[in-house]
Amino acid sequence: LTLTSCGQEAKPAQAGELLRSKAKLPAPFQVPLPIPPVKKPIRSDAKADYYRVVQRKASLEILPGLKTEVMGYDGLFPGPTFDVRSGRTTVVEQVNELDVSTVVHLHGGHTPAPSDGWPLDLIMPANGGHTEHHMMAGGDMTMGKRTYTYPNTQRAATLWYHDHTMDYTAPQVYRGLFGLHLIRDDEEDNLTLPKGDREIPLVIADRAFDADGSFLYPAAKDGPGVEPAYMEGVVADVTLVNGAPWPVHEVDAVRYRFRILNASNARRYELAFSNGPAKFVQIGSDGGLLDVPLEHQTVVIAPAERFDVIVDFSQYHPGDEVTLVNKLDNIANIMRFKVARKAVDESNIPAKLSSYAVTPRPTGVVRREWRFRRGSAGDHRGWTINGKAFDPAVMQAQVKLDQYEIWTFVTDVHHPVHVHLAPFQVLSRGGKTKVAEYDHGWKDTVDIRPAEVVEVLVKFTAHKGKYLIHCHNLEHEDMAMMAAFETI
């Protein structure tokens, strides 16, 4: 591996032009890795835990010595982590003290439609601020706040929540509206995985900063004036992990569990370790544990995907440094681990992780094709699904509950495709039915490479209503690469 220092001649291969910071950037591996705080309920009863989150602006020191104004859940970047039990309901009152409308979606959640974050179910700003660009008909608007109910009727998994406002998801997530939602269950608790301060979330997101420390984001104009950096998806020159630029974290020479989320708007990463024997033992994907652990030398992660991995530092010596790098795009550094000391390790990686089973390809089921393409639809320029720009009034499919369907995704360029409500299994990629290296387990986002065809097996259960399928390159999503379907 050739390591370049941060921000040097970076050439994004996959999305828009690189946004370059004008701010003075720190040397890498100076800032300690922050861990987002776990959100505490305001009360609990036999079945549910109740929380209150305030979406507000805050001025945070992301780059040393500079202030960045963020839009954060509780003013944090990333937001607080929800750490909840499978089968126990999470009720979140979201208060909007920002001056724009917002919508909250629990990504990967088995969520009833009224709480799923339909892009027009806007929470209007509590202060009645500047909203004209959010005045769109057809949603269930609420003033100032909205209560979301998540039944968590699903297995242990690493989910995340983020903004989903129609046409404005990308800039609002970029400014901070995202956080983790971890679901735990007995099956997972019964494994002797690393835990406590050896279970660490790594939320990776790229951002660019203006000279004064504020976020840089391209102007998003419709029509011929769309900046190319916006059109293809925003990629930026500073890699943040849990909100800190190229951070450093001290570890014992033992096993760690890292829940890796790519919360970037458009950037893909190929994660690798710079030196020594460290590799990734994948134990889970978007939808929870795999059946058996899987070893990877590198992990390719697209926007919105999660990889739950164990990394074993026991073959390193105190004083060793292990750098997590990105092999794509020449922007190499992500963060560094400093091995501090030998220590006792009571964890292990069980040979059998979960009762997760691969469902064989059924015959005679409904099949649907979703074509993700650059395109124009009417006066809309941008990105389309099946030739249509997102229209909240149009249901592109009526899908029966409790039945397997095979969905085929077809792309032109790279698109990370996400489906709400139900996870899926990848059945084939590029015509090959052997599960590809990064497609194992239950997924809710699948990275589809240029001109590729991917088939997935999906089954929706329990909740009738309007749901979404879309590209999770957030600029593509905002440029209408989204479709609604209805479960019936």
Residue 128 CB contacts under 8 Å (≥ 6 apart), including other chains: none
CB of 433 to Cu ion, least distance (A): 25
Q: Compute the distance between CA of residue 395 and CA of residue 428 in angstroms, rounded to an integer.
A: 26
Q: With binding defined as CB under 6 A, does residue 268 bind ligand C2O? A: no
Q: Which of 39, 107, 255, 415 binds Cu ion (CB under 5 A)?
A: 415
The single residue listed with the structure tokens 């220092």 is 5
Q: Which does residue 111 bind out of ligand C2O, Cu ion, none, counting CB within 5 to 8 angstroms by kind?
A: none
How many residues does this entry show for the chain? Answer: 488
Maximum alpha-carbon separation in the chain: 64
Q: How far apart are the C-alpha atoms of 482 and 419, rounded to whole Å?
A: 10
The structure tokens listed for 379 are 């006066």
Q: Which is nearer to ligand C2O, 218 or 416 (CB)?
A: 416
Cis peptide before 78 (omega within 30 of 0): yes
418 makes contact with ligand C2O (CB under 6 A): yes
At residue 350, φ and ψ (nearest 5 deg) are: -60, 145
Using DSSP's 3-state secondary structure scheme, residue 193 falls into coil
Give min distance, CB of 282 to Cu ion, in A.
Answer: 24
The reply on whether position 156 binds ligand C2O by CB under 6 A is no
In degrees and rounded to multiples of 5, residue 231 shows phi and psi of: -55, -45
Q: Which of 168, 299, 476, 480 binds Cu ion (CB under 5 A)?
A: 476
**Quick one: what does residue 415 bind among Cu ion, ligand C2O, none, with the CB cut-off 5 to 8 Å set by partner type?**
Cu ion
How is 60-106 classified by DSSP, letter by letter?
A: E-SSTT--EEEEEETTBSS-PBEEEETTSEEEEEEEE-SSS-B-EEE
Could you say whether residue 414 binds ligand C2O (CB under 6 A)? no
Does residue number 443 form part of the binding site for ligand C2O (CB under 6 A)? no
Position 14 contacts Cu ion (CB under 5 A): no
Q: Structure tokens of 7?
A: 């921000």
- Segment contacting ligand C2O by CB under 6 A, of 193-201, 242-250, 392-400, 464-472: 464-472
d(CA 219, CA 20): 14
| Count, residues near ligand C2O per rule CB under 6 A | 10
Binding site partner of 471, from ligand C2O, Cu ion, none, Cβ cut-off 5-8 A by kind = Cu ion
Identity at 278, one-letter amino acid code: A
Residues 217-246 close enough to bind Cu ion by CB under 5 A: none
Residue span binding ligand C2O (CB under 6 A) among the ranges 28-36, 82-90, 225-233, 465-473: 465-473
Could you tell me which residues come within 8 angstroms of residue 364 by beta carbon, excluding any fewer than 6 positions away?
A: none
CA-CA-CA-CA torsion sign (277, 241, 301, 20): negative
First to last CA, the chain: 51
Residue 306 interacts with Cu ion (CB under 5 A): yes or no = no
Check binding of 420 to ligand C2O (CB under 6 A). Answer: yes
Phi-psi category of 478—alpha, beta or left, where left has phi over 0 and alpha has psi -120 to 50? alpha
Selected binder of Cu ion within 106, 204, 208, 471 (CB under 5 A): 471
Residue 175 interface partner, choices Cu ion, ligand C2O, none, CB cut-off 5-8 Å depending on type: none
Whether residue 200 contacts residue 257, with contact meaning beta carbons closer than 8 Å, is answered with: yes
Task: Please give the residues from 336 up to 375 whose contact with Cu ion meets the rule CB under 5 A.
Answer: none
Residue 276 to residue 250: CA distance in whole angstroms: 16
Q: Which of 158, 165, 473, 487 binds Cu ion (CB under 5 A)?
A: 473
Cβ proximity to ligand C2O, 134 vs 418, nearer residue: 418
Chosen residue from 39, 105, 134, 255 binding ligand C2O by CB under 6 A:
105
Taking the complex as a whole, the smallest distance from the CB of residue 75 to Cu ion amounts, in Å, to 30
Rounded least distance, CB 450 to Cu ion, Å: 11
**Contact stretch for ligand C2O (CB under 6 A) within 49-57, 127-135, 385-393, 468-476:** 468-476
Q: Give the separation between CA 123 and CA 170, rounded to whole angstroms.
A: 17
The answer to whether residue 468 forms part of the interface with ligand C2O (CB under 6 A) is yes
| Cβ-based nearer residue to ligand C2O, 134 or 476 | 476
Give whichever of 193 and 484 is closer to ligand C2O, judged by the CB atom.
484
Residue 306 sits in the site that holds ligand C2O (CB under 6 A): no
Report the C-alpha gap between 356 and 285 in whole angstroms: 12
Q: Which of residues 158-177 bind ligand C2O (CB under 6 A)?
A: 162, 164
Q: Does residue 110 touch ligand C2O according to CB under 6 A?
A: no
DSSP string, 169-191: HHHHHHTT-EEEEEEE-HHHHTS
The binding site for Cu ion (CB under 5 A) comprises 415, 471, 473, 476
The binding site for ligand C2O (CB under 6 A) comprises 105, 107, 162, 164, 304, 418, 420, 468, 470, 472
